[in-house]
Amino acid sequence: MQLKTIDIKGKDYVEVAERIRAFRELHPQYTIETAILSNQDGVVVMQAVIKDEQGRVLSTGHAYEREGSNFINTTSFIENCETSAVGRALAMLGIGIDTSVASAEEVENAIANQEDVPETKSIDDLLGTAEKKKRLKELAGKLSKEDCARFRKEYPKGATGLSSNELDHLEAKLIQTINAYGSQTAAA
């Protein structure tokens, strides 16, 4: 079955709606079930499960979205997350994966969450960097006011323009600082 694709940075991606259409044509008796695994502090984690007519699990997909991380997520981060989880579950079932497991929506979201991304970065790099930046934002929210001010002085542009290795280094520093702060408050 030929699925419609969208060209993003020279690579073809299949939209989730197209994957769902193909799934319904190929497997009308199968089901897609979604569940919110976590929804705390503006971050939602979803799971989508594909089951056959006997209820056997054939594939799963997960997604993570932060409220307000882009224009769509300002009002629809839960819906956007569910769509991504479904797209990944369908990809794990083999639908719409000619060039990538990632859906067109996921790739566009990853690109939208990037700042100052050089044209030479691959889509896989973009997706990995987007995940790292999400983790960094979460960690930064756990800093004390003093540590937050210190990191802002050391990294005035935040994570913008940092290489993958620099993002890893920043993440390690944040974790070390948070752990040290937790030890200090526990001792007090």
Beta strands in the chain (DSSP E): 6-8, 11-13, 31-40, 43-51, 57-66
For the chain, the domains span 1-113, 122-188
Tell me the C-alpha to C-alpha distance, in Å, between residue 35 and each of 27, 78, 103, 165. 21, 11, 19, 34
Mean pLDDT of 53-73: 88
pLDDT, greater one: 164 or 39:
39
Beta bridge partners of 48: 34, 61
pLDDT, greater one: 6 or 73:
73
Q: Has residue 24 got a pLDDT over 70?
A: yes
Residue 69 is given by DSSP the state: S
Structure confidence by residue, pLDDT tens digits, 134-187: 777 787 788 888 888 887 788 777 776 667 677 777 778 878 888 876 545 444
Contact between 93 and 101 (Cβ < 8 Å): no
Task: Please report the pLDDT score of residue 117 as a whole number.
Answer: 43
For residue 122, give both structure tokens.
């691959």
Contact between 84 and 15 (Cβ < 8 Å): no
Measured between its terminal Cα atoms, the distance across the chain in Å is: 64
Task: Please report the pLDDT score of residue 7 as a whole number.
Answer: 61
For residue 1, give both structure tokens.
């079955």
Structure confidence by residue, pLDDT tens digits, 93-133: 888 776 554 554 555 555 555 544 444 445 455 555 667 67
* Sign of the C-alpha dihedral computed for residues 120, 15, 77 and 86 taken in this order: negative
Mean pLDDT of 59-73: 85
Beta bridge partners of 65: 44
